[in-house]
Amino acid sequence: MSTFVPPIRADLANEVPYGAPQLDVPVRLNVNENPFALPNELAQAMGAAVAAIAPELNRYPDREAVELRAELAKYLNSESGVVVTGEQVWAANGSNEVMHQLFLAFGGPGRTAISFDPTYSMYPEYARDTFTRYLTYARNDDFSVDVADAVQAIAAEKPSIVLLTSPNNPTGTAVATADIIAILEAGLAVNAVVVVDEAYAEFRRAGTPSALELLAMYPNLMVSRTMSKAFGLAGARLGYAVASTQLIDALRIVRLPYHLSTVTQVVAVTALQHADLLQAQVATLRDERDALAQWLEQQGYRVAQSDANFILFGTFEDRDVVWQSLLDQGVLIRQTGPKGWLRVSVGTPEENDRFRAALQQAPGTEQEAQG
Ligand SMILES: Cc1ncc(COP(=O)(O)O)c(C=O)c1O
């Protein structure tokens, strides 16, 4: 028998699949999930909703997810006070898929996407998959976007996609509205779609606005959101984009037919109809975030200002040693961000206590905390 060498694209030959370790440890604070189980009332309602549609699974799902998109529009109105229609919302299997569709529709050979590092590490992969040129620009020391640099880069490189993450992952920092506006204006001048990735928006602090408020003024703005974080639905896979119908209709061109299963659609609709049940969890996580950030500062660490459900802190001479020590104590966090920094997702109060205790036990951390 002759040997078979899979004819993988040359540019993918040395790549490895993306993903943080999925380890079975007691305290998992590494992928910014909502640490709380779904409230029982919601879990029961989801089960009943899935049972009700199960006999109809012989049919393909609603290709346009009309009911779900209308529910998402209603939710956004209650969450941010912004009025959008279901036609202005697009849903897919996680915001990862939404963003992949965005690159399929607006990226491609000969086109450029730009972002501001450190930022979400999947963006370069969407670019790679779609043969889109990918450029990143360094953020300032406080992780804010260097707006003058960004505006200049947009004018010079004429990207078709600009990615702004707010609150940003892994830093947790929100982008100031004035900065978003300056980038939207620069994007308009070169016909770029500016995507504000608001995966963590529900955790933002009082006084931090959502970019949704700018939608009516900027036809080139797309806001991306997800139910994986505040809604505690990482396992259900539901992300969505909000924009003008012109932009949404472009995503509809590249989506695979029936991409969003009927099961996913009814689970998401049920969660949206019970959104009020989740508010207490989000409030607890914000309080825990603020308390944890304060504690880390008191320990002498540098702590990035977080509007998200995680905190970037440091700096460590050797972050891998600290990470490993925490893991040995049953606490999994993430080695990400600039050299010397670590990121911890906000857990339940008990998990956060475990993290604090473990960090105090980690070798060398007290002496090495700087700043
Ligand atoms: C900034 C940002 N955007 C998008 C995502 C993707 O989320 P999902 O595909 O679960 O909606 C994540 C996940 O961690 C993220 O951090």
Best probe residue, ligand 1, of 101, 228, 334, 345 (max atoms within 8 Å of C-beta): 228
Number of helices (H), then strands (E), belonging to the chain: the values are 12, 12
Kindly state the helix (H) or strand (E) to which residue 194 belongs, with its residue range. strand 193-197
Best probe residue, ligand 1, of 32, 122, 312 (max atoms within 8 Å of C-beta): 122
- Ligand 1 centroid to residue 200 C-alpha, Å: 8
DSSP for 163-183?
EEESS-TTT-PPPPHHHHHHH
Q: Which value, in Å, is the radius of gyration of the alpha carbons in the chain?
A: 21
List pLDDT tens digits, range 184-241. Answer: 999 999 999 999 999 999 999 999 999 999 999 999 999 999 999 999 999 999 999 9
Q: What confidence category does residue 7 fall into, taking pLDDT thresholds of 50, 70 and 90?
A: very high
Residue 369 scores a pLDDT above 70 = no
Instruction: Summarize the confidence of residues 292-316 as an average pLDDT.
Output: 97
Cα 20 → chain centroid: 14
- Ligand 1 neighbourhood includes 96 CB (under 6 angstroms): yes
Instruction: Summarize the confidence of residues 69-79 as an average pLDDT.
Output: 97
- Ligand 1 centroid to residue 224 C-alpha, Å: 9
Residue with tokens 């080695």: 335
Q: What is the mean pLDDT of the chain?
A: 96
Structural domains in the chain, CATH included, are 21-39+277-368 (3.90.1150.10), 41-273 (3.40.640.10)
> What is the pLDDT at residue 244?
97
Closest CA to 247 of 150, 102, 368, 116: 102
Residue 78 scores a pLDDT above 90 = yes
Bridge partners of 113, per DSSP, are 134, 161
- Ligand 1 neighbourhood includes 94 CB (under 6 angstroms): yes
List pLDDT tens digits, range 9-18. Answer: 999 999 999 8
Instruction: Summarize the confidence of residues 20-41 as an average pLDDT.
Output: 94
List of residues 6+ apart from 126 with CB closer than 8 A: 99, 100, 102, 103, 107, 113, 132
Residue 367 scores a pLDDT above 50 = no
- Ligand 1 neighbourhood includes 170 CB (under 6 angstroms): no
Which atom in ligand 1 lies closest to the alpha carbon of residue 229? 10
> What is the pLDDT at residue 19?
84
- Ligand 1 neighbourhood includes 226 CB (under 6 angstroms): yes
**3-state SS record for 101-145:** HHHHHHCCCCCEEEEEECCCCCHHHHHHHCCCEEEEEECCCCCCC
> What is the pLDDT at residue 366?
56
List pLDDT tens digits, range 138-167. Answer: 999 999 999 999 999 999 999 999 999 999
Residue 364 scores a pLDDT above 70 = no
Q: What confidence category does residue 106 fall into, taking pLDDT thresholds of 50, 70 and 90?
A: very high
Q: What confidence category does residue 22 fall into, taking pLDDT thresholds of 50, 70 and 90?
A: confident
**For 298-303, which contacts have Cβ atoms below 8 Å and span 24 or more sequence positions?**
299/359, 299/360, 299/366, 299/369, 300/366, 300/369, 300/370, 300/371, 301/369, 301/370, 301/371, 302/341, 302/370, 302/371
Residue 371 scores a pLDDT above 50 = no
Tokens of 21: 């370790």
Instruction: Summarize the confidence of residues 47-65 as an average pLDDT.
Output: 98
List pLDDT tens digits, range 316-341. Answer: 999 999 999 999 999 999 999 999 99
Which atom in ligand 1 lies closest to the alpha carbon of residue 31? 14
Which atom in ligand 1 lies closest to the alpha carbon of residue 238? 11
Could you give the percent of the chain with pLDDT greater than 70? 98
Which atom in ligand 1 lies closest to the alpha carbon of residue 165? 1
Q: What confidence category does residue 137 fall into, taking pLDDT thresholds of 50, 70 and 90?
A: very high
- Ligand 1 centroid to residue 167 C-alpha, Å: 11
- Ligand 1 centroid to residue 195 C-alpha, Å: 13
Closest CA to 223 of 199, 251, 195: 195
Residue 354 scores a pLDDT above 70 = yes
- Peptide bond before residue 167 is cis, with ω within 30 degrees of 0: yes
Residue 365 scores a pLDDT above 80 = no
Residue 368 scores a pLDDT above 90 = no
Q: How many CB atoms lie within 10 A of CB 262?
A: 18
> What is the pLDDT at residue 2?
84
Which atom in ligand 1 lies closest to the alpha carbon of residue 234? 10
Instruction: Summarize the confidence of residues 63-72 as an average pLDDT.
Output: 98
- Ligand 1 centroid to residue 199 C-alpha, Å: 6
